[in-house]
Structure 1
Amino acid sequence: MLVTGADGLIGRATTEHLVGRGWRVTALSRSWHAPLEAERVLTGDVTDQQAVAEAVADVDAVVHLAAIPHPDIDTPRTVFVNNTVGTFTVLSEAGAAGVGRVVTASSINAFGVPMNTHPVQPAYYPLDEESPVDHDDAYSLSKWVDEQTARMAHSRWGVDVLAVRFPLVRDAASLRRRSQQVVDDPDLGRLGREGWAYLDLRDAVVLIEAGLTRPLSGAHVVLATAADILPDRPTEELLDRFAPDVPRRRAFPGRSGLVCLDRVQELLGWQPRHSVHTPAPADDAMAVTA
């Protein structure tokens, strides 16, 4: 199987996890900052059709993680073109090569509200995959377009695609530091537009493997976050302060998460195991529920 963006945070963790689980992995990245154990390690850009065609040769699944991950990293045009062309190239070459399954990284920002430069709010809490879109930046729009490309790829080539709307994903130590910092962040209110969501890296890689192995047909979009919020504050206290007029479809006691996880649980049997607010379990082994 192929992992694109294999030199990134999630890419390295995914590659290491899958290799450790006995997968034969081809790792693709446009640059490398350290060695990586994989059956094949290729240097190339996902917007390069020839490089992608070589990478998908003789693989039966793809994890597509390569992207420019934030609108401020480059110009809006470069962000949009890189992300959408990269995803189209990976999905089209995978489809043409007869690859049966692709797990691709979308973003919690795909519905546009979190990074919108206007003072907009979500239509309701908890956020779900049907939250109305309101795009105002190239990155969020690119991720939404990638999800439409996944639907096209299934229709055109029959490849089954899972697009995961990831939030902030970090290792446990980084999340603990961020949790302590975020309560004083002047951007705390805007972060509420994405539900103050996060995901432990360990849960992310288990989710990706579930996306590769669980029975699945079609093109699906799922949100995947921790079960609670990142700030060490009561959820409803934050909502009262920053989003008092946004409808709440249920109560959010304690630090309850503001993202609905029903779809990912139904499709993959996955649920998050790690919280930034509790000590790491003695046994770090992770499992997907049956």
Structure 2
Amino acid sequence: MVTGAAGRIGRPVLALLAERGIEANALVLQDPGDLAARLVVAGDAADATAVRAALDGADAVIHLAAVPTPEHHTPLDVFAANTQATFTVLEEAGRAGVRQAALASSWGVTGLPWTGAAAPSPAYVPVDEALPSQVADAYGLAKQTDELTAAMMARRHAMSVVCLRYPFVGGFEERLGAHAARLARDPAAGARDLWTYLEVHDAARAAVLALEVPGPGAHAVHVCAPRIIVPQPTEELLRRHHPTTRIRRPLPGRAAPVDTSAAHRLLGFTAHNLVD
């Protein structure tokens, strides 16, 4: 069962599952009428009745439904909607006997994207899963809470739950091309994301691979392309825009300042470089 199945990552997830001969159910707010799914349920991921209906026959869950940014809703609405949806989906999945789950966490758990008027700096790079968070916004807090919920549900239902810390995600023509051009003109605009990105089909592949992780247990992993999206050298950008950040190992050329080794070890996942 895929929540948020009509969204940016949801559609490629459904397409990849179909390509692999895996039937999927879809939970969406409104049925667009063209989803590659065995069953489409229109409803909110925070609604237990809708979630139970969408779980019919499912043995795994990919939870992607969320308010995607804190920019267009109140902090209360963002936090309440995202955390309630994650709790509901994982609780109902566990009660239904589902033991494999993946969910969309976010780069936002670091606190870098949405905290304060000026971009904060990470304590060190490459950023890894142990980096101290600087969250001061409802979206980042919700994603932190989602990861705690995943850990609890893994214990409660003996599930495997993988939380994928997605960066800026898009297809090249649909989103990444314009984003790359904008940041090439103004690299400061990418400082909060450390100029990282992930192509949407890689995002889908990571979600499907996460369903193969044996349980019980919960894991949070960073995923991003191996190189940054702008043409400038990584260390040069870091010295200019994050001068207080400690560079703990060399980042040659345009190497992404994010440690994705946990995703490689756990999922066997390595992303592609779409932007050269």
The two structures share one fold, judged by TM-score above 0.5: yes
**Number of the residue aligned with 1:87:** 86
**Number of the residue aligned with 1:124:** 124
CA contact (8 A) 1:179 1:232 kept: no
Deviates more, 1:137-146 or 1:209-218: 209-218
Report the residue type matching 2:202 in the other structure: D
Root-mean-square deviation (CA), in Å? 1.4
Deviates more, 1:94-103 or 1:172-181: 172-181
Matches within 5 A, 1:231-246: 231-246=230-245
**Number of the residue aligned with 1:146:** 146
TM-score (norm 1): 0.91
Distance 2:137 2:180 in 1: 26
Secondary structure of residue in 2 paired with 1:28: strand
Secondary structure of residue in 2 paired with 1:181: helix
Secondary structure of residue in 1 paired with 2:185: coil
CA-to-aligned-CA distance 1:152-199 (integer Å, 9 cap, x gap): 0011111110000000110122312211111234xx436323321100
CA contact (8 A) 1:3 1:63 kept: yes
Distance 2:223 2:72 in 1: 24
The Cα of 1:32 is off from its aligned counterpart by 3.5
CA contact (8 A) 1:180 1:232 kept: no
Identity across matched positions, percent: 40
Distance 2:78 2:213 in 1: 32
**Number of the residue aligned with 2:179:** 178
Report the residue type matching 2:24 in the other structure: V
CA contact (8 A) 1:114 1:191 kept: no
- Equivalenced residues, count: 274
The Cα of 1:144 is off from its aligned counterpart by 0.6
Distance 2:158 2:188 in 1: 42
The Cα of 1:70 is off from its aligned counterpart by 0.2
Distance 1:32 1:58 in 2: 19
CA contact (8 A) 1:216 1:267 kept: no
Secondary structure of residue in 2 paired with 1:102: strand
**Number of the residue aligned with 2:136:** 136
CA-to-aligned-CA distance 1:48-70 (integer Å, 9 cap, x gap): 11111111232110000000000
The Cα of 1:253 is off from its aligned counterpart by 1.3
Matches within 5 A, 1:76-225: 76-117=75-116, 119=118, 120-173=120-173, 174-185=175-186, 188-189=187-188, 191-225=190-224
Q: Where in structure 1 do 4 or more consecutive aligned residues deviate above 6 Å?
A: none
Distance 1:72 1:256 in 2: 30
The Cα of 1:217 is off from its aligned counterpart by 3.7
The Cα of 1:111 is off from its aligned counterpart by 2.1
Matches within 5 A, 1:243-282: 243-277=242-276
Change (3 A) 1:215 1:274: farther
CA contact (8 A) 1:113 1:121 kept: yes
Mark the runs of 5 or more structure 2 residues left unpaired by the alignment. none
The Cα of 1:236 is off from its aligned counterpart by 1.3
Mark the runs of 5 or more structure 1 residues left unpaired by the alignment. 278-290
Distance 1:216 1:234 in 2: 40
